[in-house]
Amino acid sequence: MKRTIIDICLILVVYIVFGVCIYLAVNFNLPLQLEVVPKDGVDDAVFLESFNYWSLVVMGISLLVVLCWYILGAWGPKAHSTPRGTWITIWLMGLVVTVATGVVALFFGPQASQKAYILGLYFIGGGALFYYLATMLFSPVNIKYAIKGSKLLRRW
């Protein structure tokens, strides 16, 4: 139980870092510095507000999916009786949900007339990256090596 609490706290730390990235991106006006041009008639402040909102939505859904992964791994089917492929499929479904949230944010979030792909990279890439990091570094003991790269970093 102690390890579970530590892992969940560390997952929250990973997502606090994600939140800090969002905060810095909004406060330093990152989209506009990367020459993302809002659609005609959209004020920069409204654009940044929408960017902030949808970034937080992606972060929240990604965090929720990571916590579901952790709960399922810790208290769901036992790892020794469930094939590794099943765990990888479950993890990939979580990744799909996270990426789909990024795509929704791209279409319903701030609209850009130029360089909209940067917003897509931010929403989709950010959600997927932090999902990957949190699940790779802090999965339950039963499935801690199910994700590619975890054996390399989790030798503790």
| pLDDT tens by residue, the chain, 156 residues | 888 899 999 999 999 999 999 999 999 988 888 888 888 878 888 989 999 999 999 999 999 999 999 999 888 877 677 888 888 999 999 999 999 999 999 999 888 888 889 999 999 999 999 999 999 988 888 888 888 888 777 665
Cβ–Cβ under 8 Å, residues 142 and 74: yes
Helix (H) or strand (E) holding 18: helix 2-27
Rounded Cα gap, residues 151 and 136, in angstroms: 9
Cβ–Cβ under 8 Å, residues 30 and 24: yes
pTM of structure: 0.90
- Exposed, middle or buried, 77 (CB in 10 Å: 0-12/13-18/19+)? middle
Rounded Cα gap, residues 66 and 131, in angstroms: 6
Sign of the Cα torsion 118, 110, 24, 9 reads: negative
